[in-house]
Amino acid sequence: MAETGSEQFSHGQLPGSLELAFVGDAVYHLYVRSRLIKSSAKVNQLNHSASDAVNAHAQSESLSRIEGMLTDAEALIVRSAKNTRQTGPKHQTHRDYCRATAFEALLGYLYLTKQTERLERLLSLAAPQGVSGQ
């Protein structure tokens, strides 16, 4: 498979940054919840822990943990998504919101291009300690 995996899309190109982020958001939610469920916490605490990990500030920090490890193609996805015009955040800083979108776009890109091992590796490094299992 080509690095971009774009041959799997009918128009021959990857979706845009916000569409990649849309998928990446779901990927990250599932990753976080799958890790948290391994604890013996009650559902209320699981929801609270998931909310702590899946917000713009936490995702911006997650991106910071892996930014130096990105390939050129991954860095391009992140840069493009960071610069995408978006509606302003309500309860987050604009910087965190843009970086969170970039993080989600990266996850969406890796997921849609079926780079599963790379996705799992970056998720394990990016997620907060209580979520990543480290």
Give residue for tokens 């997620």.
127
C-alpha 57/C-alpha 93 separation (Å) is 8
C-alpha 77/C-alpha 23 separation (Å) is 14
Give residue for tokens 């604890």.
39
Sequence-distant contacts of 53-57: CB under 8 A, at least 24 apart? 53/127, 53/128, 53/130, 53/131, 54/28, 54/29, 55/92, 55/100, 56/89, 56/92, 56/93, 56/96, 56/97, 56/99, 56/100, 57/92, 57/93, 57/96, 57/100
Q: Does residue 25 have an active-site annotation?
A: yes
Of the residues 25, 52, 72, 96, only one is catalytic, namely 25
Active site residues: 25
